[in-house]
Amino acid sequence: MNLYVFKDFYKPKSLKPFFAILDELEYIFRNDYEAFYIVREYIEKDMYSYVTQWKDYLLETGNPRLHIMIAINDISFSCIGSGKYHRFRGDLSDSNEGIGLMNLFKYSSVKLVEMKHWSKKDAVIAMKEINKAIALVG
């Protein structure tokens, strides 16, 4: 059962550490709120759809921030790669969403390196991949 429809009434206890991090990041990204809202919506839908999987992530590493950063990185990359947030091929839109998604991607990449989940080389490769996606789609 997808619990997302009950999100205003029910928050599983196992997801509370993830929600706390999302609330903290919402404050950090208050200038890129539109982009953060897009990413947060995807993350919350996934958390409510796969509660036990997110709980297992937490038990596995004990670091909910790591999994939130991975999710932000993946979702922002997918959104940028979709072409929906481009003005034209090779150029992100000037709207808060296009540039904001790129800011989210960069922030999460830096945090993944800081948490030693990625090497600096991985972050460079990811930046090359997203720049390639921006150039090809739009």
pLDDT digit string, tens, across residues 78-134: 999 888 888 877 778 767 788 899 999 999 999 999 999 999 999 999 999 999 988
Q: Is residue 2 part of a domain?
A: no
Structure tokens that stand for 80 in this block: 């940028």
Query: Which residue carries 């390639």 as its tokens?
Result: 132
Which pLDDT score is estimated for 5?
58
Domain residues for the domain of 111 are 12-136
SS3 131: helix
Number of domains the chain is built from? 1
pLDDT digits (tens, 9 = 90+) for 13-70: 889 999 999 999 999 999 889 999 999 999 999 998 999 999 999 999 899 999 999 9
Q: Is residue 3 part of a domain?
A: no
Query: Which residue carries 């429809």 as its tokens?
Result: 5
Which pLDDT score is estimated for 135?
87
Look up the pTM and report it: 0.89
Q: Is residue 124 part of a domain?
A: yes
Q: Residue 75 pLDDT more than 90? A: yes
Distance CA 122, CA 27 (A): 28
Q: Is residue 75 part of a domain?
A: yes
Q: Is residue 121 part of a domain?
A: yes
Structure tokens that stand for 101 in this block: 């998604």
Which pLDDT score is estimated for 137?
80
